Amino acid sequence: DTAVSQTPKYLVTQMGNDKSIKCEQNLGHDTMYWYKQDSKKFLKIMFSYNNKELIINETVPNRFSPKSPDKAHLNLHINSLELGDSAVYFCASSQLDRRDTEAFFGQGTRLTVV
């Protein structure tokens, strides 16, 4: 059983389009994250939700809007896509009050904006 699953795995789209990436976890964790990995492999946290509440919102353009319908799902919607949005986006989950436990990651969504 996949612990953290993201869809789609690949996404190619034109500039200016709006797209969404979905994430689901079946680990019973209360916290979910979105990370962006650029072409140099650097991982940067974008958002974090705890029990559907936004707890981390790093400096991210407001074209990016996360939505958490329940604690097992965290979706990422991106408006007016730009070339610089091309990256791999990872969803992750963990238990907030268990800092000694690791975060589990999805397989990533490779977004290419052309």
Contacting positions for other proteins (CB under 8 A) = 4, 33, 40-43, 45, 48, 56, 90, 92, 94, 99-100, 102-103, 105-108
Least distance to other proteins, CB of residue 37, Å: 9
Q: Which amino acid is at 85?
A: D
Least distance to other proteins, CB of residue 56, Å: 6
Least distance to other proteins, CB of residue 44, Å: 8
Least distance to other proteins, CB of residue 16, Å: 27
**Cβ proximity to other proteins, 70 vs 99, nearer residue:** 99
CA distances from 64 to 3, 21, 29 (A): 24, 11, 23
**Cβ proximity to other proteins, 44 vs 82, nearer residue:** 44
**Cβ proximity to other proteins, 99 vs 114, nearer residue:** 99
Contact 56, 66 (CB under 8 A): no
**Cβ proximity to other proteins, 72 vs 103, nearer residue:** 103
Task: Residue 5: count other Cβ atoms within 10 Å of its Cβ.
Answer: 15
Nearest to 90 by CA among 2, 4, 1: 4
Please give the structure tokens belonging to residue 113.
């904006």
Q: How far apart are CA 59 and CA 41, in angstroms?
A: 19
